Structure 1
Amino acid sequence: MRQDQHRFTIHTHGKALYEFTDEVADWLERTGIESGMLTLFCRHTSASLLINENAASAVQRDLLRWLDKAVPEGNHYEHDSEGPDDMPAHIRTMLTGASLNVPVGGGRMLLGTWQGLYLAEHRSASHSREIIAHIIGE
């Protein structure tokens, strides 16, 4: 069994989905690990990780609109230390998740044809987000 770990930094420019599938695929290829399990972990409480369709950009826009409707911004939250998008960002992260597991075979992530990896930025301001990738396999 072998392991490798890498830290990805994604610079965001406000609320959006930021695809990083290619960056992970490039790193995974360099590890030389052919078969195993990849874990991705977002080190933030107001951004999250998703696997979703990467072919139609309308999917991303619909997801963001749904999150805005499901968890609206406003002054109805007790926690608002960093502004009106602060607590909604934490709730959106709770709903969407901070980690992903992706099986690896043939040296590649075994994602479906239209699946991609996304960082979901839930805050309005720009941030630098860190994602830790860990692969274990052979």
Structure 2
Amino acid sequence: MRQALHELTIETRGKGLVMITRPVLEWVADQGIETGLLTLWCRHTSASLTVQENADPSVRTDIERYFEHIAPEAPGRYVHDDEGPDDMPAHLRTMLTNTQLTIPVADGQPVLGMWQGLYLFEHRRRPHRRQVVLHLLGE
């Protein structure tokens, strides 16, 4: 059994889904582990990870609009607003999504469906530099 650890730095442009599939696939392929388990961990409380459709961009648009609806920026609505009106909604959106993904690896690649992509979901308005830790365990 072998394991490998890596940290991806993802530059965001503000709120929205940022595709991270390619750098994850490339890193896993470089590790030479044929069968195993990949864990992705987002080191933030105002950004998250998701597996979502990667073919039709309107899916991402609808997801982003949905999260604006269920956790809106509304001055006076939240007690915690130390970093502005998008602060607490970002924390709520992170709670409702994932900060960790676990994906099986077979034949040296994460086992993703035909239309599945890996995304970092930025919940803050301004651009950020986000870290996603990748841990691969297998043989």
Structure 1 counterpart of 2:87: 86
Deviations 1:72-128 (A, max 9, x none): 111210000000000000000000010000000000110000000000000000100
Q: TM-score, normalised by structure 1?
A: 0.99
The amino acid across from 1:95 in the alignment is L
The amino acid across from 1:92 in the alignment is R
Identity %: 53
The amino acid across from 1:115 in the alignment is Q
Q: Does 1:2 align with 2:5?
A: no
Residue 131 of structure 1, CA deviation: 0.1
Looking at structure 2, the residues matched to 72 and 124 of structure 1 have their Cα atoms a distance apart, in angstroms, of 12
Looking at structure 1, the residues matched to 128 and 73 of structure 2 have their Cα atoms a distance apart, in angstroms, of 19
The amino acid across from 1:25 in the alignment is L
Residues matched between the structures, number:
138
The runs of at least 4 consecutive aligned structure 1 residues that moved more than 6 Å come to none
Q: Does 1:130 align with 2:131?
A: yes
Structure 2 counterpart of 1:34: 34
Residue 66 of structure 1, CA deviation: 0.3
Q: TM-score, normalised by structure 2?
A: 0.98
SS at match of 2:12: strand
Q: Does 1:118 align with 2:139?
A: no
The amino acid across from 2:37 in the alignment is M
Which consecutive residues of structure 1, in runs of 5 or more, have no partner in the other structure? none
